């Protein structure tokens, strides 16, 4: 087999150009609370997720916590080995605020935390892997939650101070930064849905207050980087947005779909990327009108002052998009009962969002497979906000099995990468990178360990948290190395593998020979 593959590779590399453009980068991602564990050692203090899962065991499907998770605090060398095995250009991980600054404030730096991230970053660099660092992936210091968390306007300063401190430590070595991961998850999923830590229900009020503070916090961090660090240490920094593809349920529903897109995506992009700045005008008007109609004296969506709009507008160096799934959208009928995002949507909009029954469901209740949606979203960004570089910072597939032969996950990544290529070549959208979520199975928030997104399987029953590559890791590693959508790779988990390789190889050899004859 090895011989056949090597032979094939030589022929193939002569016969066909690479699918992925020169300069296109591949990566793989994790987040601190989902993998690190070591929640109460080496000076780390509690974040809102520690407090949430400890005080409400029913918040996770299997009543689990991230106390140990993948134990990456101890096993990070193995993590880097895996990243290197995949051959990717970058590793996206996040910093645990309370591991570095247990007080939340930066008056006290935890040396063990500093050493941990320093080792991680330096070792990645030594192995030729670029660190892509997220400052905030949902784990606010509990001490700040006790003071109101993301609904207290002071959070803007708390976050800005933390960002400056992290840049001071690592901006000499880290050159791509994400300020905040998926604001929808820390505003809507907390205050509207109530499922994410700290699980405070305040729909239509708390989520909107949070949104304004998140936008300002991001903007302050970006400006600090821009003014104090960029000239010394080159680098780029952006917020990271969760996109679902919101598709009209019928031709009459394009307006409803665009409104849903504006409420769930546009509120986090318009203030930053649009020429005018501020909230998407239609959304601002709808929420204001409804608030006044309901007897409020002002909009539940807090307005920006002109100075705030100016502070936020233009605070980007690229566009970071996470994409997993899509929804159909239609106007609500009188008898409709409103549910919660992401299955049914906002009462403020009077729209209903729901998955297309034609889309294949994963084992996660929210994740339906809709690869075309990623292309639609990339086009939407390109059309609305110009052709700055777009990095897909997350894309992945969940199941509930330990299976190593994860055919569905391979198909998922292949299907989405294919749409990314169409977006680049057919639509001229400037997509410059792709990140698979996730490097390995990990603590999947409310799903605990019941949902697995890993290219590597993790055995959570073993104290060693053994990691084993799945077929998807082998597929993705081959994509990265051969820069092809359909690379040759050996899947040892496939039962009839020898015959498959021969058939696959023969077919491709034939195509290659035809190609050669014409070049
Ligand atoms: C840390 O938490 C674990 C539970 O995850 C507990 O068993 C252990 O006693 C705690 N250690 C300290 C030092 O508090
Ligand atoms: C409502 O707002 C108006 C104008 O903004 C103001 O004049 C009025 O006093 C407010 N009413 C209350 C009850 O706060
Ligand atoms: C895509 O973005 C990169 C990085 O910002 C830039 O260098 C490049 O010129 C852009 N490409 C196009 C076609 O605009």
Per-residue 3-state assignment (H helix, E strand, C coil) for 308-327: HHHHHCCCCCCEEEEEEEEE
State yes or no: is 308 an active-site residue. Answer: no
* Number of domains within the chain: 1
Answer whether residue 496 is part of any domain.
Answer: no
Give the ligand with the smallest distance to the CA of 292.
2
With vertex at residue 473, the alpha carbon angle to CA 468 and CA 479, rounded to the nearest 5 degrees, is 160
Q: Average pLDDT, stretch 264-293?
A: 97
State the closest ligand 3 atom to the C-alpha of 389, by its place in the atom list counted from 1. 2
- Which pLDDT belongs to residue 349? 86
Answer whether residue 495 is part of any domain.
Answer: no
Find the domain containing 210 and state its range: 20-483
**pLDDT band at residue 332 under the 50/70/90 scheme:** confident
Q: Which residue would you say has higher pLDDT here, 341 or 516?
A: 516
d(CA 501, CA 487) in angstroms, rounded, equals 11
The three state secondary structure string of 70-91 is CCHHHHHHHHHHHHHHHCCCEE
The percentage of residues in the chain with a pLDDT greater than 90, rounded to a whole number, is 86
Answer whether residue 364 is part of any domain.
Answer: yes
> Ligand 1 pocket: which of 33, 40, 45, 51 to mutate (most atoms <8 Å of CB)?
40
pLDDT at 394 > cutoff 60: yes
Least confident of 26-40, 170-184, 189-203, 300-314: 189-203
d(CA 251, CA 210) in angstroms, rounded, equals 34
Q: How many C-beta neighbours within 10 Å does residue 513 have?
A: 11
The closest alpha carbon to 79, from 36, 130, 133, 135, belongs to 36
Token reading at 303: 């307005």
Q: Is 400 exposed, middle or buried (0-12, 13-18, 19+ CB in 10 A)?
A: middle
Four-point Cα dihedral 171, 175, 176, 181, nearest 10? -10
Answer whether residue 515 is part of any domain.
Answer: no
180 Cα: distance to centroid of ligand 3 (angstroms) = 23
E-strand ranges in 46-198 read 90-94, 130-136, 176-181
Residue 18 in contact with ligand 1 by CB distance below 6 A = no
Q: Which residue would you say has higher pLDDT here, 336 or 350?
A: 350
- Which pLDDT belongs to residue 508? 63
Give the CATH number, domain containing residue 125: 3.20.20.80
Answer whether residue 65 is part of any domain.
Answer: yes
pLDDT tens, 402-450?
Answer: 999 999 999 999 999 999 999 999 999 999 999 999 999 999 999 999 9
CA 141, distance to chain mean position in Å, is 21
State yes or no: is 350 an active-site residue. Answer: no
Contact criterion met (CB below 8 Å) for 304 and 156: no
State the closest ligand 3 atom to the C-alpha of 388, by its place in the atom list counted from 1. 2
Coil, strand or helix at 61? coil
Answer whether residue 512 is part of any domain.
Answer: no
302 Cα: distance to centroid of ligand 2 (angstroms) = 16
Answer whether residue 7 is part of any domain.
Answer: no
- Which pLDDT belongs to residue 15? 47
- The two most distant CA atoms of the chain are separated, in Å, by 75
The DSSP result for 142-156, as a single string, is HHHHTTTGGGSTTHH
Answer whether residue 503 is part of any domain.
Answer: no
d(CA 225, CA 164) in angstroms, rounded, equals 7
pLDDT tens, 63-90?
Answer: 999 999 999 999 999 999 999 999 999 9
- The pTM is what? 0.93
């Amino acid at each position: 087999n090895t011989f056949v593959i090597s032979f094939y590779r030589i022929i193939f590399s002569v016969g066909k150009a690479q699918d992925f453009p020169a300069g296109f980068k591949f990566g793989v991602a994790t987040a601190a609370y989902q993998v690190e564990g070591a929640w109460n050692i080496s000076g780390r203090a509690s974040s809102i997720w520690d407090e949430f899962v400890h005080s409400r065991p029913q918040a996770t499907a299997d009543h689990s916590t991230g106390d140990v998770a993948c134990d990456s605090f101890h096993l990070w060398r193995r993590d880097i080995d895996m990243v290197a095995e995949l051959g990717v250009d970058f590793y996206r991980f996040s910093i645990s605020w309370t591991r570095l600054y247990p007080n939340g404030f930066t008056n006290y730096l935890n040396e063990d935390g500093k050493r941990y991230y320093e080792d991680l970053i330096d070792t990645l660099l030594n192995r030729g892997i670029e660190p892509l660092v997220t400052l905030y992936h949902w784990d606010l210091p509990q001490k700040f939650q006790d003071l109101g968390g993301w609904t207290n306007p002071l959070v803007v300063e708390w976050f800005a101070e933390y960002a400056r401190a992290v840049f001071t430590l690592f901006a000499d070595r880290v050159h791509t930064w994400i300020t905040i991961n998926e604001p929808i998850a820390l505003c809507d999923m907390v205050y509207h849905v109530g499922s994410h830590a700290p699980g405070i229900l305040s729909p239509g009020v708390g989520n909107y207050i949070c949104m304004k503070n998140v936008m300002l916090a991001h903007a302050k961090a970006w400006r600090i980087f821009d003014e104090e660090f960029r000239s010394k240490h080159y680098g780029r920094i952006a917020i990271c947005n969760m996109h679902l593809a919101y598709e009209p349920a019928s031709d009459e529903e394009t307006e409803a779909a665009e409104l849903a897109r504006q409420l769930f995506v546009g509120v986090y992009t318009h203030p930053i990327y649009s020429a005018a700045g501020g909230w998407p005008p239609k959304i601002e008007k709808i929420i204001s009108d409804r608030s006044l109609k309901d007897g409020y004296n002002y909009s539940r969506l807090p307005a920006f002052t002109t100075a705030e709009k100016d502070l936020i507008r233009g605070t980007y160096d690229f566009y970071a998009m996470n994409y997993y799934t899509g929804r159909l959208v239609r106007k609500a009928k009188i008898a409709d009962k409103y549910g919660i995002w992401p299955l049914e949507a906002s009462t403020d909009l009077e729209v209903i969002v729901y998955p297309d029954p034609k889309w294949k469901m994963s084992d996660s209740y929210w994740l339906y497979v809709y690869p075309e949606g990623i292309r639609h979203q990339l086009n939407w960004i390109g059309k609305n906000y110009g052709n700055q570089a777009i990095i897909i910072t997350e894309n992945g597939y969940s199941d509930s099995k330990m299976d190593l032969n994860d055919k569905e996950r391979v198909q998922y990544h292949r299907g989405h990468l294919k749409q990314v290529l169409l977006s680049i070549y057919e639509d001229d959208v400037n997509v410059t990178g792709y990140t698979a979520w996730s490097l390995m199975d990990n603590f999947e928030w409310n799903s605990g360990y019941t949902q697995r997104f890993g290219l590597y399987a993790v055995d959570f029953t073993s104290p060693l948290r053994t990691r084993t590559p799945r077929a998807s890791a082998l597929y993705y590693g081959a994509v990265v190395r051969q820069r092809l959508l359909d690379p040759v790779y050996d899947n040892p988990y496939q039962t009839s593998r020898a015959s498959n390789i021969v058939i696959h190889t023969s077919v491709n050899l034939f195509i290659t020979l035809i190609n050669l004859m014409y070049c």
